Structure 1
Amino acid sequence: MSMYFRRFPLAVLAFAAASGVGAPALAAPALEDFFAAAVCQPPYSVQSATDLYDAAETFAKPDTSTMGAAIYRLPKPVTRDGFTTQDAVFAGSAVGVLIDGEVAAKLAERYHLTQEEGHMLGASSLGFSRVLPDDQQQMKEFGLVSLVARQGPALNGKTLLACEFVSNEDRAALEELNKLVAAHRRGE
């Protein structure tokens, strides 16, 4: 069993398997497909993430020392919309790339993202996101897919651009945690 599936919520996998939810399998993903997946083209699905993960496994062993993610070095750089990457990222139920430079604000402008209120418990110093429209939410019963751009000290001068699925439970817990942090800052 791949590391990817060990980290993916079991209920979502069961739903996807039973209902056939997911994009058709990609035939030998091209390097450009990693960048496309990071900007949710196509929207996140278990099948498309698995296909990309399997392809990344053929490139090299992942670096797993950062952010609890598997980072794979692509054989050559990929450029799209003026941004360059050579690293594919798989973290929990997110597929993304590490963009050269701390460019979260520029990515936000390009991909119409809004600034996030919290900073992922210090994991990001600047973050932006946009929930995909309803017609692109293939697993809405279980959670929402968003396009995110985040930068922070752990990324060593790079910016995470990713398409991530967040379960309803995780989203509710994060919102509650953000409320507690905000209350603490106000002295409540």
Structure 2
Amino acid sequence: MSIRFSPLHLLSSVLLVASTTAAWAEEDVPPSAFFDAALCQPPYSIDHATALYEAAEKLAKPDQSSLGAAIYHLPAPIERDGFTTQDVLFGNMTIGVLVDGDVAGRLAKRYELTPETSHLLGSSTKGFARLLPDAEQGLKEMGLISVVAREGAGLNGKTLLACEFVDEADRQAMEVMEKEAAEQK
């Protein structure tokens, strides 16, 4: 799987999250909030990401992954809608969970995600996404927020379920790369 977060993106995301203060970060955050965040409930925001990052820091120390993201292994599993996770992922304006099993198709069906059209993630990647409605796009002037589910060899039998913010410049760059890749075929 070739979901990549550069070290610079990870560092900037972590610094941004660490430097922003959320009013409700002092409150206890229930473990289910991590799964909710992966489903963009509420939609992605820096304040919400900060609160969850701070809560994860209190529960565990991060592992650096091949994805270039920080992964926190929670002390106990979280179960929701027949899915189980114990790992929370933060990276490059993404909050997610690593769901046990290769279950992208099941997650897509349950959370109304459609197959991703991008072919840049690699041939071994199976991905689904759903763009949030306009009313929930709190950062629309800068980019778009989606719920995504992706599985692939790089995830070692887990599926990434995440709320992902993609800024306008990155989205346009991906469109150009996809167009160039299609022209080379």
Query: TM-score normalized by structure 2?
Result: 0.86
Distance 2:76 2:145 in 1: 28
Deviation of 1:120 (Å):
4.0
1:147-168 CA-partner distances (Å, limit 9, x unpaired): 0000111100000000011101
Residue 58 of structure 2: aligned partner:
58
1:98-137 counterparts in 2 under 5 A? 98-122=98-122, 125-137=125-137
1:110-162 CA-partner distances (Å, limit 9, x unpaired): 11111012244328610010110011011110001100000111100000000
1:91-116 CA-partner distances (Å, limit 9, x unpaired): 11000000000000111111111101
Deviation of 1:25 (Å):
2.8
Residue 148 of structure 1: aligned partner:
148
Q: Secondary structure at the match of 1:30?
A: coil
Q: Secondary structure at the match of 2:163?
A: strand
Residue 80 of structure 2: aligned partner:
80
Task: Show structure 1 runs of 5+ residues with no match.
Answer: 18-22
Distance 1:43 1:9 in 2: 19
1:32-71 counterparts in 2 under 5 A? 32-71=32-71
CA contact 2:129–2:147 (8 Å) conserved in 1: yes
Residue 8 of structure 1: aligned partner:
13
RMSD of equivalent CA atoms:
2.4
Pick 1 or 2: higher relative contact order, CA cutoff 8 A, min separation 6: 2
Task: Show structure 2 runs of 5+ residues with no match.
Answer: 1-7
Query: TM-score normalized by structure 1?
Result: 0.85
Q: Secondary structure at the match of 1:63?
A: strand
Distance 1:80 1:182 in 2: 39
Q: Secondary structure at the match of 2:175?
A: helix
CA contact 1:4–1:90 (8 Å) conserved in 2: no
Count residues in correspondence. Answer: 174
Deviation of 1:66 (Å):
2.1
Q: Secondary structure at the match of 1:36?
A: helix
Distance 1:120 1:52 in 2: 30
Say whether 1:25 aligns with 2:24: yes
1:54-89 CA-partner distances (Å, limit 9, x unpaired): 111112221113200100001100011111100000
Q: Secondary structure at the match of 1:74?
A: strand
Distance 1:9 1:135 in 2: 27
